[in-house]
Chains A and B, each alone.
Chain A
Amino acid sequence: MKRIHVSKKDVEHVATLAHIELTEQEKTLFTEQFNDILEYFKKIDAIDTNGIEPTYHVLDLSNVSRTDETKPSLSTEEALMNAPKKEKKFLKAPRIV
């Protein structure tokens, strides 16, 4: 029998955290697919990782910064050209509070 890793309720909860609305049908389908995928992910449990450092990325670079100088950047028009909703020189966002 297949092990249940996530329930439909779990999927609903995580989708809310991810800010993605799902239809009822999708909730059922995704739950089933996620359980298959998470079952496959169990493969990693076979490896002992005690005392191993994580690799976030492969380069020996960290905190690359440049000197604090002003450089040319996008104009207001360019910055707004792809905004679906705007007003005057501003982006128009949905109500937050």
Chain B
Amino acid sequence: MQNLHELTAQETIKKIRNKETTAEESVQSVFDRINKFEGKVKAYVTLVEETALKKAKLIDRKISEGKTVGRLAGVPIAIKDAICTQGIPTTCSSRMLENFVPPYNAEVIERINQEDGIIIGKTNMDEFAMGSSTETSYFGPTHNPWNLSRVPGGSSGGSAACISSSEAILSLGTDTGGSIRCPASYCSIVGLKPTYGLVSRYGLIAYANSLEQIGPMAKNVYDCALFLSVIAGHDSKDSTSVNEAQKDYTKFVKDTVEGIKIGVPKEFFGEGTNQAIEKQVWKSIHKLEELGASYEETSLPTLEQSLATYYIIAMSEASSNLARFDGIRYGYRVDKDQGDWTTIYSQDRRIGFGAEVRRRIILGTYALSTGYYSKYYLKALKIRTLIRNNFEKAFKKFDVIIGPTMPFPPFKIGEKIEDPLALYMSDVDTVSANLAGLPAISIPCGFTNGLPIGMQILAPLLREDLILQVAYTFEHNTDFKNQKPSIE
């Protein structure tokens, strides 16, 4: 018999509803798995076994009493530690928030609770989501289940690693410049960054609010669609929430790409792209062609500028957002009563924030300062307009745009961390979706030397349906979703 932790969310829900198993057994199976492998993978910052089991028993009782249960009934779910969970520490993997316990839930958490999903823990991440490797976490790096000496990608590295190692069945990540898609690619799972504004950011600890989105991470495309159906839809508590009604995204999970037109921008295969990745992504595009889609090579010239544009905007927004961490209402505070506000504030922030967070705040402050505002920040915002326009033009011709998620395979822990710019280069293919607000997914599409490769699919605003359809068709007609790491 298959172990319960190996099941998808769809299978888990079905078995629990049919009384073939219970929510308690499912949660217990995942915690047994965690006890066995978490010491090697280090995907979690906090685990809440007791409350998870208690919740599972409540759901089991509802089922035995014949009451209706929610769409995620009994599914063990991991949450990135940037998303506020009432009564459960939420650290952003930062010393600044090491002791922070939110007095309220993020909107996405309320929606998971309403649908009877079971939160089992909070996952490790790059500090304040600033990184592409989960190495900037104050609590130490997460390890890639496919090769423990390699990074799992980031910043939602814990949320991807725990799915790949079967230490959770679904997880939530956040994506500001690729932070869901990068680790999804590196851990060979499915990760979707929804259209900007589709999922409420209420209760998400902000890094760069004009760019970031919460999104689902899962073992396959169906689970990803199911989870999206629960968390998407308008929320009046988020002023950037789009007026989109809730809908069932699983109905777009269908096996056909007949008539789908794919655009393949040559800039996605630019200098520095690993050859094995280039080859495998092309092979995947040809597979989609064989299944009924057509493709054409194209060019999106502003992709060349998107990485610099992204970092200028993200750092500028970060410098403003993270000003709230003053050690007064919450966060790290030096233990001294003497000294003026400026001195204490500056010391709290030296000790509370790690090097990468300080780098981005200071560079962002520079990009916004007198004399440099137009040269950097304003200029970047204007290029952002051009990037949007170019995508708009491309989508007049194509239904979806496809390329690699990452330019190179998962690198060794410690390999790039001393060189910030080299690490920033990891995001070269993912940031443009955030700048333009577009939905984008990463799905498994192969391996090179035993390390996963991800394919990225982008679609026009609010066309998650197209992404899910193309992703599912590829997944259904290939075998990558069935390949699991043997953690050793």
By a beta-carbon cutoff of 8 Å, the part of chain A in contact with chain B is: 6, 10-11, 14-23, 26, 30, 33-34, 36-37, 40-47, 49, 52-59, 61, 64, 66, 74, 78-79, 81-85, 91-96
Instruction: Tell whether B443 is near chain A: CB-to-CB under 8 Å.
Output: no
Contact A58 B103 (CB under 8 A): no
Q: Which residues in A have their C-beta under 8 angstroms from that of B364?
A: 18
Q: Which B residues have a C-beta under 8 Å from some C-beta of A?
A: 99-101, 103-104, 196-197, 209-210, 236, 239-240, 242, 302, 304-305, 307-309, 311-312, 319, 323, 327-333, 337, 339-347, 349-350, 353, 355, 358-359, 361-366, 369, 376, 378-386, 388, 420-421, 424, 436-437, 461
Interface of B is mostly: helix
Contact of B330 among A58, A83, A92 (CB under 8 A): A83
B328 pairs with A83, CB closer than 8 A: yes
B421 touches A81 (CB 8 A): no
| With known contacts A14-B369, A84-B327, A47–B362 Cβ distance under 8 A | no
User: Cβ of A49 and Cβ of B379 under 8 Å apart?
Assistant: yes
Q: Is the interface of A mostly helix, strand, loop or mixed?
A: loop
| Bound CA–CA A30/B360 (angstroms) | 11
In whole angstroms, what is the CA distance A22 to B385 when docked? 36
Shortest C-beta distance, A96 to chain B (Å), equals 5
* Chain A residues in 8 Å Cβ range of B361: 18, 20
In the bound complex, how far is the Cα of B236 from the Cα of A66, in angstroms?
8
Known contacts being A21-B349, A59-B240, A84-B331, is A54 close to B363, with CB within 8 Å? no
A58 lies within 8 A of B365 (CB): no
Q: Which residues of B contact A10 (CB under 8 A)?
A: 366
Q: Contacts of B381 on A, CB cut-off 8 Å? A: 54-56
Contact across chains for A78 and B355 when beta carbons are under 8 A apart: no
- Closest Cβ neighbor of A60 among chain B residues: B242
**Residues of chain A lying within 8 A (CB to CB) of residue B332:** 84
Q: How far is the CA of A55 from the CA of B210 in the complex (A)?
A: 10
Known contacts A20-B358, A55-B388, A57-B240; is A96 also within 8 Å of B369 by CB? no
Q: Which of A18, A40, A52, A82 touches B362 (beta carbons < 8 Å)?
A: A18
